[in-house]
């Protein structure tokens, strides 16, 4: 079998990097609580940079808040709708008849093309044509689907209704954080299970069918265990112990450049080369020490950071 354990840390780092920090979750909850109106606008990209939570886990947190009855998604819209023409304007207009043709013409008429991107004056189109925002967005999405234009979707605004403001920030933070941690533990365990499977001394077909709840196979006679016996996955690189690194030296640049106080989690992510929004925001990825311990297991680095800070 052509496998070894060298890249397990890389796999694990994807998982660890997706767990939001407690401070980030608390920040999200305060942001909701401090919003005095019941309508909440969320710009995922900038909120992600502000809270230091990656986009995907941030979306997951919002889903949890929805399940907890705190938020309800109402609709989303694009704040800006930059797009690129992939076909001549006139050719696109030529694809439509009657009212729809006039509508598309109006959209193009009130759009300005810079070097590459075209921007709409959406208010103007709404006013002149009497169309609502949603119809304009749908039209552009349709053109994008057809491959006639390319729509840039980064500036989405998600509008939520806050169903209750009376939630307890501490309790909710704890509960969301524990859920995220539980998910992390589960995913990491899955990697370990996969390794255990490859290193099993039982027939692999038998292991697999047991996993799926069937207990029919005894020995298949043709898997690697049946033909060659148990394998042991090797680590090909020998790493010096972490105690050989000087914590102060390794993190000095990070602490100097960061415009915030890095938590042990942030320090660990930085040293393991795991991307986090503050890393981009404060240009920490340019530092030589970013990812300097990326070959080490995340958990060992984290323990080392906590011991030495």
Give residues in contact with Zn ion (CB under 5 A). 203, 205, 220, 223, 226
* Distance in Å, CB of 188 to Zn ion, minimum: 28
For Zn ion, the closer of residues 157 and 220 by Cβ is 220
Is residue 25 within 8 Å of 173, Cβ to Cβ?
Answer: yes
* Distance in Å, CB of 148 to Zn ion, minimum: 55
* Distance in Å, CB of 230 to Zn ion, minimum: 11
Is residue 165 within 8 Å of 71, Cβ to Cβ?
Answer: no
For Zn ion, the closer of residues 40 and 220 by Cβ is 220
For Zn ion, the closer of residues 206 and 269 by Cβ is 206
Closest among 293, 260, 292 to 277, alpha carbons compared? 260
Closest among 258, 301, 253, 299 to 52, alpha carbons compared? 258
For Zn ion, the closer of residues 44 and 203 by Cβ is 203
For Zn ion, the closer of residues 229 and 240 by Cβ is 229
* Distance in Å, CB of 201 to Zn ion, minimum: 11
* Distance in Å, CB of 203 to Zn ion, minimum: 3
71 vs 233: CA distance, rounded Å: 47
* Distance in Å, CB of 300 to Zn ion, minimum: 35
For Zn ion, the closer of residues 223 and 267 by Cβ is 223
């Amino acid at each position: 079998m052509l496998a070894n354990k060298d890249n397990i840390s890389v796999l694990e780092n994807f998982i660890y990097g997706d767990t939001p920090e407690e401070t980030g979750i608390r920040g999200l909850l305060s942001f909701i609580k401090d919003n005095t109106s019941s309508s909440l606008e969320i710009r995922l990209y900038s909120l992600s940079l502000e809270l230091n939570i990656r986009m995907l886990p941030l979306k997951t947190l919002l889903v949890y808040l929805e399940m907890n009855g705190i938020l309800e998604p109402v609709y989303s819209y694009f704040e800006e709708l930059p797009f690129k023409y992939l076909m001549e304007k006139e050719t696109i207009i030529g694809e439509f008849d009657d009212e729809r043709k006039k509508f598309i013409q109006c959209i193009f008429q009130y759009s300005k093309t810079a070097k590459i991107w075209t921007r709409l004056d959406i208010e103007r189109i709404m006013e002149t044509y009497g169309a609502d925002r949603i119809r304009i967005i749908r039209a552009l999405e349709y053109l994008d689907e057809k491959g006639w234009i390319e729509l840039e979707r980064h500036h989405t605004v998600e509008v939520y209704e806050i169903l209750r403001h009376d939630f307890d920030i501490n309790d909710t933070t704890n509960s969301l954080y524990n859920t995220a941690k539980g998910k992390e533990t589960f995913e990491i365990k899955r990697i370990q299970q996969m390794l255990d499977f490859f290193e099993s001394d039982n027939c692999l077909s038998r292991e697999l069918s047991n996993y799926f709840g069937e207990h029919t196979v005894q020995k298949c006679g043709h898997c690697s265990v049946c033909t060659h016996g148990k394998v042991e996955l090797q680590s090909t690189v020998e790493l010096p112990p972490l105690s050989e690194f000087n914590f102060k030296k390794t993190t000095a640049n990070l602490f100097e450049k960061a415009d915030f106080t890095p938590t042990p989690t942030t320090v660990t992510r930085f040293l393991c080369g795991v991307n986090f929004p503050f890393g981009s925001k404060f240009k920490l990825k340019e530092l030589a020490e970013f990812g300097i311990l990326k070959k080490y297991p995340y958990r060992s680095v984290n323990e080392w950071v906590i011991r030495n800070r």
